[in-house]
Amino acid sequence: MAIPTPHIGAQKGDFAKTVLMPGDPLRAKYIAETYLENPRLVTSVRNMLGYTGTYKGKEISVMGGGMGIPSIGIYSYELFNFYDVDQIIRIGSAGALQDDMEMMDVVIGMGACTDSNFVKQYNLPGYYAPIADYELMNRAIETAKAQGTKVRVGNVLSSDVFYSADETVNQRWRDMGVLCVEMEAAALYMNAVKAKKKALCILTISDHIFKNVALSAEERQVGFGKMMEIALELA
């Protein structure tokens, strides 16, 4: 496929080797304008904003990935396979499942359970367990320790369904020790390993499924500084 691709308007060389990928394109804009030096807009197709700049002298990009596996599946595939991106770090929000988790807790997704059919395209002879790149994950954990940020590391759920007709599903994932639910990590992890690239998902708890508490949209957009500062150090 030639670039620009159907979904990304950037030219060759416009993206850094490391891309931070929040779901919300406005969060990408906020990160670029708040944390990056000399950020420049490199793509705005469908208003899915992407920027490249520097952080502590290292080139880094940030781009929205949208909501759900089909969306991040497209953007991460094109970044890995057509723009020579080496690693994508998803930085997003998630709904907590475990009782000992609170608003703004930071979670690192070691593995990503999923109810998606995304994996079926590979025609594997069994079940596949999408996991983070170990090196990236280890660096993120050590960075969090150095910054004094407590993180939870474990399984997350990448679900295709936000409003489920089955009200028992969250309890069943919770019983299996899954920390929280989001909607993208599993596809990102599968795209990365297939392309022989690296991926990691870092999340901030924005609501609790069983406690009926949640952050506002504005708090989610601008309030995830600890997660962002971990991710920025991984470039």
Contact of 191 with 201, CB cutoff 8 Å:
no
**Residue closest to 25 by CA, chosen among 67, 70, 65:** 65
CA of 50: how far to CAs of 21, 87, 88, 124, 222, in Å?
Answer: 9, 15, 13, 33, 17
* Of 84, 86, 115, 207, catalytic: 207
Q: Mapping DSSP to helix (H, G, I), strand (E, B) and coil, where does residue 180 land? A: strand
226 Cβ neighbours under 8 A, 6+ residues apart: 104, 106, 147, 149, 204
Measure the CA angle with vertex 167, ends 162 and 172; round to 5°: 95
Q: Which residues contact 154 (CB under 8 A, 6 or more apart)?
A: 107, 109, 110, 111, 177, 178, 179
Whether 207 sits among the annotated catalytic residues: the reply is yes
Whether the Cβ atoms of residue 224 and residue 145 lie closer than 8 Å to each other: no
Label residue 108 exposed, middle or buried (CB < 10 Å: 0-12, 13-18, 19+).
buried
Give catalytic residue positions.
207
